[in-house]
């Protein structure tokens, strides 16, 4: 039996599915991944852009980087990979989509049960008070300030060294511990605690199916590892 057929069988029998996605699923929509030869970290060091320290040191630079990414994302459309995950959600009893992506393409594709564990690039929030605003159209040319307290506003994403949103993360862990199949699509799974979800699923007895264009650290440990593009393999899986 080919790995693709095996993965199809696993998925066809499952009623409780969890899905972990990463930047690779949006790559075919034209949004760069983080790692790898064409990744964002090729030109920028994560510690210069995606940490609270970087923002404290140079908020203008960090905002410029996020405004550049917002513009790329605004021009992008969900692809066949995103749409295939909507089809899975419609077929099974429980489907929890856990995404590390901040681009909102799963929402735009039509998925409904989404856990955004690394935040949302369209969210702008205050560092000091509870103010936040979700807006896909606003453009900042300089560091925005909070209309309520005057402190700096920041992108509503999770940077290195910051905790994940607690309730979202707890729900994600629960869904993974309870699923029959965990589908892992387009992530290098090098960033924790998200990467730990794969071990959590295996330990709880779930089958794990990885889709990635390259081998990852998890490729040998998962139940089935498929090499190829999300936009090609995910539709074939459903």
| Site residues, ligand BJW (CB under 6 A) | 22-24, 27-28, 33-36, 39, 50, 100, 102, 118, 157-163, 186-188, 190-193, 211-214, 216, 229-230
Pull the structure tokens for residue 9: 């069988």
Kindly state the smallest distance separating residue 31's Cβ from ligand BJW, in Å. Answer: 10
What is the H or E stretch that residue 4 is in? helix 3-13
Q: Which is nearer to ligand BJW, 8 or 16 (CB)?
A: 8
Whether 234 and 211 have beta carbons less than 8 Å apart is answered as: yes
Q: Which is nearer to ligand BJW, 2 or 93 (CB)?
A: 2
118 is known as an active-site residue: yes
Q: Which is nearer to ligand BJW, 188 or 225 (CB)?
A: 188
Pull the structure tokens for residue 139: 């453009």
Q: Which is nearer to ligand BJW, 16 or 200 (CB)?
A: 200
- Which parts of the chain are beta strand (E)? 16-21, 94-99, 114-116, 119-126, 132-134, 153-157, 181-185, 207-212, 224-227
Kindly state the smallest distance separating residue 157's Cβ from ligand BJW, in Å. Answer: 4
Among the listed residues 82, 106, 118, 218, the single catalytic one is 118
The Cα–Cα gap between 227 and 229 comes to 7
Whether 72 and 79 have beta carbons less than 8 Å apart is answered as: no
Kindly state the smallest distance separating residue 169's Cβ from ligand BJW, in Å. Answer: 10
Nearest to 186 by CA among 102, 100, 60, 108: 100
Kindly state the smallest distance separating residue 126's Cβ from ligand BJW, in Å. Answer: 18
Q: Which residue is nearest to ligand BJW (CB)?
A: 24
Active-site residues: which are they?
Answer: 118
């Amino acid at each position: 039996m080919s790995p693709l057929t095996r993965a199809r069988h696993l998925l066809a029998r499952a009623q409780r599915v969890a899905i972990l996605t990463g930047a690779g699923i949006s790559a075919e929509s034209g949004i760069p991944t983080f790692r790898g030869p064409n990744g964002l970290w090729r030109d920028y060091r994560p510690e210069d852009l995606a940490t609270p320290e970087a923002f404290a040191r140079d908020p203008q630079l960090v905002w410029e980087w996020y405004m550049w990414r917002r513009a790329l994302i605004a021009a992008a459309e969900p692809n066949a990979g995103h749409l295939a995950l909507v089809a899975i959600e419609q077929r099974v009893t429980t489907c929890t989509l856990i995404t590390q992506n901040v681009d909102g393409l799963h929402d735009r594709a039509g998925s409904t049960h989404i856990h955004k564990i690394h935040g949302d690039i369209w969210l702008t929030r205050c560092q000091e008070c509870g103010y936040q605003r979700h807006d896909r159209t606003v453009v900042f040319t300089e560091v925005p300030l909070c209309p309520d307290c005057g402190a700096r506003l920041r992108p509503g994403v999770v940077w290195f060294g910051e905790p994940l949103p607690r309730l979202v993360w707890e729900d994600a862990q629960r869904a993974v511990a309870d699923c029959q199949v965990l589908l892992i699509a387009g992530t290098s799974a090098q960033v924790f605690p998200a990467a730990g979800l794969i071990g959590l699923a295996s330990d709880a007895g779930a089958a794990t199916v990885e889709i990635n264009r390259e081998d990852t650290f998890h490729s040998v440990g998962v139940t089935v590892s498929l090499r190829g593009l999300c936009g090609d393999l995910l539709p074939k899986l459903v």
